[in-house]
Structure formats: C-alpha cells, structure tokens
Structure 1
Amino acid sequence: MKKQLLILLFTFLPFWTFSQTKPYLSLADAERITEAAEAKAKAEGWNVVIAILDDGGHLISLKRMDGVQVGSVDVAQAKAKSAVFFKRSTKVFEDAMKGEGGSRIATLPHAVGVEGGLPIFKDGVIVGSIGVSGVTSAQDGIIAQAGIDAY
C-alpha cells in the first residue's frame, strides 16, 4: 500500500508543479511593446534601437531602425539588462550618478546610468524590460515609456 501511494504521488507530482506558472512576457507582448515604441520614435523623427528582454535578461526582440549607429545595439541591450536586473529605471542610476558619491553606481555590475531602460511588470512581477538607444537619453526614455504604456 505504501509503495502504491508513493508511485501515485510521484506520478502526479510533476503535473501539479507545472500547473503553477508565473507571469511572463510573450513574444506577442514584446512585439506590441516594440511596435508602440517604434511608432513614438517615428512620430518624433527619431531613429533608435529597441531591445526587449525577458526576466532573465535574455533577448526576446531587437529592432534597429534605419540609420542608427551600430553602438546603440549594445547600449539598448545594456540599458534593458540593467532595468531587469535591478527592477528599476536606468534613470534612477543616471540621477544617482549626478549626486554626491554617485560615481559608486558605475562600479555596480550591469548598472547603466543612462536613461532609456525600463522594467516591465505584470501582476506585480517583473517579466522583462525595454532598452532604447539612439538619441538623447531623455528621448530614449520617452520612447521606452511609450512602449511600456502599450503593454
């Protein structure tokens, strides 16, 4: 009887554990965010790179608009990685770096002190991030926020 109970438990345990899922950022979500950010950039006449990462900091979507410098590809991804790893806007780090002792921010791994990276939350859980690069940091932030607003 004890052996049968254990077999039953181990048979159904995997189904029970997989039925509980946390929120996540789907490809469709990433595309919707990217499209909204791109629409804002086009409306303003700004060409940028838009990177969307999952909650582990892995790339889901990358869009490089025509004419953007190649360096913005890495910068957009770095901003997004900073936002997802620290669960906050990169503007927080930018502002902190302007204050007394702010240079310590530069020593934090993956902390980017330039506006344009925002975390993406769903039901209070971080599911990913957006990073934008290509124009001024304030303009990158405006574009990133337009993407978040569409989510």
Structure 2
Amino acid sequence: MGSDVSGAWGGRAGSWTGSGSGTCRAGVGDLVTEFATEWDDVRFASRMWERETVDGARVDMRVHVLRGDRLASLANLRDFLAEYHERDSSTPALIESRIGTAPGMIGATEAFWLVAPGIGVNVIVAPEAVDLPGLAAVAGSIVPVEA
C-alpha cells in the first residue's frame, strides 16, 4: 500500500493537489509533513513523505512548489535548484522532458518543471522508494488547484 499525493496543500506558494493517479509506490512512508519557507527571495510550499527507520527517519519523497520572480524560465529554475541543492547545474543526469504540458527536466531521483514564469515545482525521491516511472507518474499528477 502506498501513500497518496491527493489532497490540497499550499500556502504562500498557492494551493496544489495531486490526482488519484499520483499514488506513490509501496516504498513511500505515510508520515506527511507540510511546511512553508523562503530561500533567496523564492517562496516554497512543501510536502514531505517519510518513514520511521531503526536509525530515526528517512525522507522518501519531497514536493516543493516554488514562487519567485527569478524563476522566469526553465533555465532559471534549473540554476536556482542547482544553487539551492548545492550541485552543478549542468549535471547530465537530468534530461529535458514535458511534465504534463509544461517544460521540465527529469532524472532518476528528481523532476522539476516550470508551470508559468515565476512558478516551478520540484519533486525529489529516494531511489529505493520510488522508481523513474513512479517519479514521472507523481510529477504528472501535481497540478494547481483552480480557485
């Protein structure tokens, strides 16, 4: 049995939901935490799935909805996330892909896409919890809630 990304969450970054097709693989823990933060003038609304382990806890999946003027293009989003996650922005592990109808990038453990200028979504998974098809399915299910 897996965890479901359905149900709205959000805050200052807007309200978002995952559809029923966004059910995660059985490896994703069912402890869900939501929080909002800001880093370098970009606002985050985040949801995190984790599980208890012998050593404490393990994060299986994180979804961040980001809002900020500096996220004007997919390249800007990629560069921001590289800086935020402290990695090289030219990493070949990510390939350009459509996430739903939006331009994005996906790799074995991460997907991100530009919903509109100034709005991006970032999904990060633990490889032992969610495989690439599972990541693509979860990413494709995350949409803004219509007001």
TM-score scaled by structure 2? 0.40
Name the structure where helix makes up a greater proportion of residues: 1
Name the structure where strand makes up a greater proportion of residues: 2
